[in-house]
């Protein structure tokens, strides 16, 4: 969506790495129009999963239209580095660590499955380097 903090962060990372950066802008209506297809491909009616899948589904469609077959995804980075806003409210470093570990251990049940289904719907393979065991 226009004005998303992710747009600025992605541009900064691309500039730092010297990579080609493409921005795709979607409207709320684009998301609403895609919901039926998103539900079909992710195979759930869970509201949180649908909400998180819709932008990735729309982005995957755009990326595939460019002829791209594989993308590198940041899945797991927020869980590892405490990127969600509520992590900053942890009372101490032990609680912070406990919560990040809990999130990482459950990731395969939700976020990874969701991301895989949302990208695979368009024949796009997503690699997740932050979830590499050697990382």
The per-residue pLDDT for 41 is 97
Per-residue pLDDT band at 133 (split at 50, 70, 90)? confident
Query: What is the CA 45 to chain-centroid distance, rounded?
Result: 18
Report the C-alpha gap between 28 and 55 in whole angstroms.
Answer: 10
27: pLDDT strictly greater than 80? yes
Which range, of 11-15, 22-26, 46-50, averages the lowest pLDDT? 22-26
| 3-class state of residue 72 by DSSP | strand
Residues 66-98 pLDDT 10s: 999 999 999 999 999 998 888 889 999 999 999
Nearest alpha carbon to residue 84 among 60, 109, 102: 102
Per-residue pLDDT band at 107 (split at 50, 70, 90)? confident
Could you tell me the domains of the chain? 5-131 (3.40.50.620)
33: pLDDT strictly greater than 90? yes
Per-residue pLDDT band at 7 (split at 50, 70, 90)? confident
């Amino acid at each position: 969506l226009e004005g998303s903090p992710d747009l600025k962060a992605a541009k900064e990372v691309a500039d730092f790495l010297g990579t080609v950066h493409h921005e795709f802008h979607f409207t709320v209506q684009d998301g609403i129009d895609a919901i039926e297809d998103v539900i079909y491909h992710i195979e759930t009616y869970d509201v949180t999963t649908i909400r998180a899948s819709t932008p990735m589904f729309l982005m995957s469609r755009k990326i595939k239209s460019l002829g791209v077959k594989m993308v590198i995804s940041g899945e797991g980075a927020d869980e590892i580095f405490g990127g969600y806003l509520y992590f900053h409210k942890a009372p101490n470093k032990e609680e912070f660590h406990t919560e990040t570990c809990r999130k990482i251990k459950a990731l395969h049940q939700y976020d990874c499955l969701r991301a895989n289904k949302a990208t695979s719907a368009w024949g796009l393979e997503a690699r997740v380097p932050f979830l590499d065991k050697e990382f």
